Amino acid sequence: MTYSSLPLDNDVFTPSFTSFDAPIDLANALRHAFRAHHPHLLETVKFDEPPPRESVTLSQWSQPALLNTLMNTYGDHLYAQHTNQPRENKPLKSLWAQWYIGLLTPALMAAILTHPQGLHLSADLIRVRFHETGRAESFWVEVYPCPLGAQASLRERMEYLVAQVLMPVVDALEESGEINGRLIWSNTGYLINWFLGELRPQIGETGWQALRQACFFEKVRLDGRDNPLYRTVVPREGLLVRRTCCQRNRLPGVQQCGDCTLK
């Protein structure tokens, strides 16, 4: 797939599956749409289902005691066969963040960008259960209609997701030390660019091009604040590719990405 940048187009959003006879209940409507277009996302993100007792919100897992326990557990898992190798916490936390953001973000993108009502997004409405290895496993999302309204542009919706969900996660991890937010945003930009390609049939060619332009080539967001995704992916040989290495190759037993910048 080749990529190119086009001027931003804020056409009114027209979802591709408005013809579905979706249930009135938004959670059922989202599940109905996901089963038609992205059924695998329902395996790890649950909409308005009862969360397990062990699930926690961001404000809970970001507390130093719990976050340190999760990182130590994840480190024990990755270094189990390499006990003599010094642990590197920066790549460890980078990969941990990739699991968390990578499992959650595509489902939220699909909900906010392709459903007419969108989805109310807040870190307080999202709970996560962690795997026995310490990394994120599944998420439970409380469902309410998006306050932006049905006429919000794709860019407004995407920036809403970034501000309400992704920025709090990145800020919490950066504040915990040993990693800078730029590295996490670089990994996140790569993920978002990939999933925008997966959504391309639903949001249309114009919407896809406009969102890539807004996400990666606009320095500021619509509210005038800095865009954390700016140039997290860059054009190279007709493609948008990651700008910096995620450093996962520094962890034992973790393969280098197929398109690693170090190659």
Residue 259 confidence (pLDDT): 62
Residue 141 confidence (pLDDT): 97
Number of structural domains in the chain:
1
- The lowest-confidence range among 11-20, 102-111, 148-157, 165-174 is 11-20
> Are 110 and 37 spatial neighbours (Cβ–Cβ below 8 Å)?
yes
Q: Determine, yes or no, domain membership for 155.
A: yes
Nearest residue to 26 via CA among 45, 43, 46, 48 = 48
Q: Determine, yes or no, domain membership for 80.
A: yes
Residue 248 confidence (pLDDT): 67
Residue 239 confidence (pLDDT): 83
Residue 260 confidence (pLDDT): 56
pLDDT digit string, tens, across residues 19-45: 333 334 899 999 999 999 999 999 999
Query: Which 3-state string (H, E, C) describes the chain?
Result: CCCCCCCCCCCCCCCCCCCCCCCCCHHHHHHHHHHHHCHHHHHCEEECCCCCCCCECHHHHCCHHHHHHHHHHHHHHHCCCCCCCCCCHHHHHHHHHHHHHHHHHHHHHHHHHHCCCCCCCCHHHEEEEECCCCCEEEEEECCCCCCCCCCCCHHHHHHHHHHHHHHHHHHHHHHCCCCCHHHHHHHHHHHHHHHHHHHHHHHHHHHHHHHHHHHHHCCECCCCCECCCCCCEEEECCEEEECCCCCHHHCCCCCCCCCCCCC
Band (pLDDT 50/70/90 cuts) for residue 15 is: very low
Q: Determine, yes or no, domain membership for 188.
A: yes
pLDDT digit string, tens, across residues 61-118: 999 999 999 999 999 999 998 888 999 999 999 999 999 999 999 999 999 999 998 9
Task: Report the distance separating Cα 205 and Cα 19, nearest Å.
Answer: 19
Q: Determine, yes or no, domain membership for 8.
A: no
Checking if the pLDDT of 255 tops 70, the result is no
Q: Determine, yes or no, domain membership for 130.
A: yes
Work out the end-to-end distance of the chain between its first and last CA atoms, rounded to an integer number of angstroms. 20
What's the domain range around 157? 29-250
Task: Report the distance separating Cα 49 and Cα 94, nearest Å.
Answer: 29
**pTM for the predicted model, two decimal places:** 0.87
Provide φ and ψ at 68, rounded to 5°: -65, -40
Residue 246 confidence (pLDDT): 58
Residue 238 confidence (pLDDT): 79
Band (pLDDT 50/70/90 cuts) for residue 149 is: confident
Give Cα 117 distance to the centre of its chain.
Answer: 20
Q: Determine, yes or no, domain membership for 107.
A: yes
Q: Determine, yes or no, domain membership for 259.
A: no
Q: Determine, yes or no, domain membership for 205.
A: yes
- The lowest-confidence range among 18-32, 81-95, 148-162, 173-187 is 18-32
Task: Report the distance separating Cα 76 and Cα 89, nearest Å.
Answer: 12
Band (pLDDT 50/70/90 cuts) for residue 258 is: low
Mean pLDDT of 131-153: 95
- Amino acid symbol at 79: Y
Residue 242 confidence (pLDDT): 78
pLDDT digit string, tens, across residues 194-251: 999 999 999 999 999 999 999 999 999 999 999 999 999 988 877 887 777 656 676 7
